[in-house]
Amino acid sequence: MKTQRLWQILRYDWPLHFILWLLNGLPDNVIFLRLRGWAASPFFGRCGKNLRLGRNLDIYNSAMIELGSHVYIAFGCSLLATDSIFIDDEVIFGPYVVIASSNHTRRNDSFRFGPLDMAPIKIYRGCWIATHAVITSGSTVHPGSLVAAGAVVAGDIPASVLAGGVPARVIKPLEDDAI
């Protein structure tokens, strides 16, 4: 187990952190978002085409993260993959979104040394996770849904809905915009 984790650190985590550090000073415009995504894509468990990454990302255990095609992750997001994180095609993350696939538990009146409660996270095709939203372990966001800014998802969000609040709940169904 320890050699497998060491392999993941050397193969995925350190190269990804180095690439992101190297490219972090470049502005967030289309060219550099694509460059960051292209340079970082080999260091995820799976990555589709046209990944776009903003600056100042915090990514833990990238080998456990699967990204589809046409994914955009904005400035300041955190993806903490203690367990697996699956992000399908055409998903958009606003700035400062936090995706954490584990929660702390209490032991002897302290959260510091309690065991982690880990569960996978799944975000399906076409979702928009807005600014400062949090997706907690074991959550699923079904296709075409919008998680409102500042919402905390702790469970399932159905397909094609606007969800918001703490904890997030369905606010209304969504329909395609007429153009």
Active site residue 104: yes
Q: At what angle do helices 14-23 and 30-40 cross, to 10 degrees?
A: 160
113 within 8 A of 93, measured Cβ to Cβ: no
The secondary structure of 105-172 as a DSSP string is --BTTBSTTSPEEE--EEE-TT-EE-TT-EE-TT-EE-TT-EEPTT-EE-SEE-TTEEEETTTTEEEE
Reported residue count of the chain is: 179
Selected catalytic residue, list 70, 104, 132, 142: 104
d(CA 16, CA 13): 5
Active site residues: 104
